[in-house]
Amino acid sequence: MAIRFLLYLLVTQSLVDGAVALTFSSKLIHRFSDEAKALWVSRESNLSLKSWPKRNSLEYFKLLFSNDFKRQRMKLGSEYDFLFPSDGSETLFFGNQFDWLHYTWIDIGTPNISFLVALDAGSDLLWVPCDCIQCAPLSAGYYNMLDRDLSEYSPSLSSTSKHLSCRHQFCKMSSICKTSKDPCPYKAEYYSENTSTSGFLIEDKLHLASIGKQATQSFMQASVIFGCGRRQSGGYLEGAAPDGVMGLGPGNISVPSLLAKAGLIRNSFSICFSENDSGRILFGDQGVATQQSTPFLAIAGKFIAYFVGVESFCVGGSCLKKTGFEALIDSGSSFTYVPTEIFERIVLEFDKQLNATRVTLQQYPWKYCYNLSSQELVNIPSMRLVFSVNQTFPVYNPMFTQPESQGFTISCLTLLDTDDDYGTIGQNFMTSYHMVFDRENLLFSWSGSNCEDKRANLTPPSDDGSSNPLPTNEQQSIPDPHALAPVVAGRASSKPSLATLRQIPPWQCLLLSLISSFLLII
């Protein structure tokens, strides 16, 4: 530590003094040389040298080979092509009973316990009900569509569980801790009114599976950090995600981020939601060659969420002017929202092209509903989003349709307006797509899919303005339209000051970076 500190002081002083021309030299030392041995002894007085390999011995070459193998694996980027929950990659949809969200089963802890968690690309934190003070009911008898009870986690019952301390880098609420050794508290607040989860951060094992090149399945465990959700509120007590949420966002604490940082997968994942209420989730998946892509957008210089730029919104054969907006790709939002001014342009064009009788129903959250006679053949105008470089995202089914009653069918456009200056692409627009969140290349990609196989493709809806027939796979309950995605942190905050960075010339920034890397090595 003294060597690092002395070197840092010398170089920092040189930078502060503003020397114009500096010459640096360094000496390369082999990791198993006598000089390296002496250095380690000077740093670690109790270091045992019995295990130090003899030069050119078998053990010497084994250690060198092992180190090269690790470096090569890091260079390749990942240990597994794909990973998915040990219970399988399938996602589940329960309609309105669980607030129109998609879920998957995951196993945590030793011994492992299963949790049915909602998939939320709009947040980062994985949390499960834990040592509950205020949680949703977990008994299967409370829900109509479950064949087993939901679970509650307890750190004391898992031999691999560890509390994160308040001094941990992921502890954002350390200021309220009494000491740095205290368990790290957390609280996550979501977009729906008064909806939140709070408790403590825990580290434990997430059970995952992988299919190798020989189609053989293997199992492994990865350390993840998640919320021990002792107290939930709002939507989480009223049917939404009673057994927890898996945040899939770009933050450092999300499951995809932790798996990628550990070198287990490429920094990417995919989700697929099918029309038959199932789907798939795969960690490490970067999609297929035929998929379309659009870049993620930075917010205040940071990629804090999965934002993309919509250049225009098309209804039928018309791509409307002044309908461009930024949109959050969010699987934790049941429906799709656009800024109010753009919403008005879209629905007026949709209403004109549909040419059907419009009705107003107070029990429905949507503003554009239609009373359609079952005797009439009604074509619903197609919809599609246009991203950069003319990349199109057709919407398979923009309508919610009630079953026929007394010779009429009520069908509503499931598009909502928002006062925010950005929109949200929710689950209703994601159906029948294999969607890839490629964080490594900062791309959102999509291709039509039936979700039966990660490579299975379907032909997307036509982009020629042709109409979509009235959907036949109607849902039978009126949904709650409220999104469960959290408020996007920093969205309205001012940009960080660049003054400090501008005071240091680029070559000095590079030098400091190299020195920091060297200090970490020694």
Q: Which two tokens stand for residue 277?
A: 């209420």
Tell me how far apart the alpha carbons of residues 395 and 58 are, in angstroms, rounded to a whole number: 62
pLDDT tier at 66, thresholds 50, 70, 90 = low
- Across the chain, what does the average pLDDT equal? 79
Collapsing DSSP states into helix, strand and coil, what is residue 34?
A: helix
Angle among Cα 356, 361, 363 to the nearest 5 degrees reads 145
Tell me how far apart the alpha carbons of residues 393 and 196 are, in angstroms, rounded to a whole number: 32
Q: Which residue has the higher pLDDT, 271 or 363?
A: 271
pLDDT tier at 39, thresholds 50, 70, 90 = low
Nearest to 205 by CA among 220, 218, 219, 224: 224
Collapsing DSSP states into helix, strand and coil, what is residue 477?
A: coil
Nearest to 379 by CA among 403, 358, 359, 355: 355
Q: Is the pLDDT of residue 263 over 60?
A: yes
What pLDDT digit, counting tens, does each position of 147-204 carry? 899 999 999 999 999 999 999 999 999 999 999 999 999 999 998 778 999 999 999 9
CB half-sphere exposure, 344, CA atoms < 13 A: 3
Q: Which two tokens stand for residue 99?
A: 């607030």
Residues paired with 227 in a beta bridge: 127, 201
What pLDDT digit, counting tens, does each position of 103-123 carry? 999 999 999 999 999 999 999
pTM more than 0.85: no
* Bond prior to 111 in cis (omega within 30° of 0): yes
Contact 165, 183 (CB under 8 A): yes
The mean-pLDDT minimum among 173-182, 223-232, 303-312 falls in: 173-182
Residues paired with 270 in a beta bridge: 282, 436
Residues paired with 411 in a beta bridge: 370, 401
Tell me how far apart the alpha carbons of residues 312 and 438 are, in angstroms, rounded to a whole number: 23
Nearest to 91 by CA among 353, 276, 316, 294: 276
Collapsing DSSP states into helix, strand and coil, what is residue 346?
A: helix
Contact 445, 291 (CB under 8 A): yes
Q: What is the mean pLDDT of residues 421-440?
A: 94
The torsion angles phi and psi of 272, rounded to 5 degrees, stand at: -145, 130
Tell me how far apart the alpha carbons of residues 10 and 373 are, in angstroms, rounded to a whole number: 83
Q: Which residue has the higher pLDDT, 393 or 37?
A: 393
The mean-pLDDT minimum among 89-103, 271-285, 369-383 falls in: 369-383
Q: Which residue has the higher pLDDT, 427 or 467?
A: 427
Dihedral sign for Cα 350, 352, 357, 361, please.
positive
Q: What is the mean pLDDT of residues 41-63?
A: 57
From the CB of residue 6, how many other CB atoms can be counted at a distance below 10 Å? Answer: 10
Q: Percentage of the chain with pLDDT > 70? A: 69
421 counts as catalytic: no
- The full 3-state SS of 151-167, as one line of letters, equals CCECHHHCCCCEECECC
pLDDT the model gives residue 261 = 95
pLDDT tier at 401, thresholds 50, 70, 90 = confident
* Among 99, 107, 120, 243, the one annotated catalytic: 120
Nearest to 168 by CA among 153, 156, 183: 183
Contact 204, 128 (CB under 8 A): no
Compute and round to an integer the Cα radius of gyration of the chain: 27
Q: Which two tokens stand for residue 90?
A: 């399938």
Q: Percentage of the chain with pLDDT > 90? A: 53
pLDDT tier at 441, thresholds 50, 70, 90 = very high
Q: Which two tokens stand for residue 229?
A: 């959700």
What pLDDT digit, counting tens, does each position of 345-377 carry? 999 999 999 878 888 877 788 889 988 765 566
Q: Which two tokens stand for residue 206?
A: 């997430």
CB proximity list for 115: less than 8 A, separation 6 or greater: 105, 106, 107, 108, 128, 150, 151, 153, 243, 244
CB proximity list for 251: less than 8 A, separation 6 or greater: 124, 125, 257, 304
Contact 383, 349 (CB under 8 A): no
pLDDT the model gives residue 63 = 59
The torsion angles phi and psi of 98, rounded to 5 degrees, stand at: -110, 40
pLDDT the model gives residue 11 = 40
What's the count of helices (H) and strands (E) in the chain, helices before strands?
8, 31
Q: What's the distance, Cα to Cα, between the start and end of the chain in Å?
A: 9
120 counts as catalytic: yes
* Among 124, 204, 285, 330, the one annotated catalytic: 330
